[in-house]
Amino acid sequence: MTEESKTKEGCCPGCEASEEELLARLDEVISSYKEKPGALIPVLQLAQGIYGYLPEHVLKHIARGMDKPYSEVAGVVGFYSFFSTVPRGRNLIRVCMGTACYVRGGMQVLDALKKELGIDVGETTEDREFSLEVARCFGACGLAPAITINDIVHHRVKPARVNQILAQYSPAEAAEPVAAGAGERSN
């Protein structure tokens, strides 16, 4: 079964911006947060929203703009798994490795996804369609094992059916995305 709910970050085809435009947005973020305590994490989150990931030149720009050592900025990015320094695929898959999901076959789901996509955890498919990550509890333990793909939570995922789930996110299907909050569906 599948239940869907919103959690997505990211961008759509056709809203590409130039490097100058991206940098201007980043500078705007930095100047609005610079004087606030604890601003580094929100700035990094917004920067990742702007760029899709956090390349080195962006981290250096943030360090300069926030008057912080680069090592501190890079250290924060390295500490939190939701930050990525490499480009992610159009679809971000996160497999829950929380206790309930783990004991109910989360590892087998992960193995099936790795095999189906031909990538390991932390990698992106060559066509940049899918990135694969692991995460901790999504709060859906009663319907474990669970995975998220972008803003959708898939419950009670069966390893044998991950190909059917992935097919929903193929470029052809992306033209007709599943409506948010559409409830549960069989996988």
User: What residue ranges bind ligand FES (CB under 6 A)?
Assistant: 96, 98-101, 137-141, 144, 146
Nearest to ligand FES of 90, 154 (CB atom): 154
CB of 107 to ligand FES, least distance (A): 12
- Per-position DSSP letters for 107-134, written without gaps between them: HHHHHHHHHHHT--TT-B-TTSSEEEEE
Q: Output the CA–CA distances (angstroms, integers) from residue 1 to 111, 114, 150, in the order listed.
A: 19, 21, 17
Which CB atom, from 30 or from 101, has the smaller least distance to ligand FES? Answer: 101
Q: Which helix (H) or strand (E) holds 72?
A: helix 70-79
Distance CA 9, CA 144 (A): 23
As measured in angstroms, the least distance from the Cβ of 141 to ligand FES is: 3
Q: Which residues contact 17 (CB under 8 A, 6 or more apart)?
A: 25
Nearer to ligand FES among residue 50 and residue 96 (C-beta)? 96
**Identity of the residue, 124 or 148, whose beta carbon is nearer to ligand FES in the bound complex:** 148
Shortest distance, CB of residue 66 to ligand FES, whole angstroms? 34
C-beta of 153: minimal distance to ligand FES in Å?
8
Which residue has the CB atom at the shortest distance from ligand FES? 98
CB 186 within 8 A of CB 3: no
Instruction: Pick the closer one to ligand FES by CB: 90 or 94.
Output: 94
> CB 100 → ligand FES: shortest distance, Å?
4
Q: Residues for the chain: how many in total?
A: 187
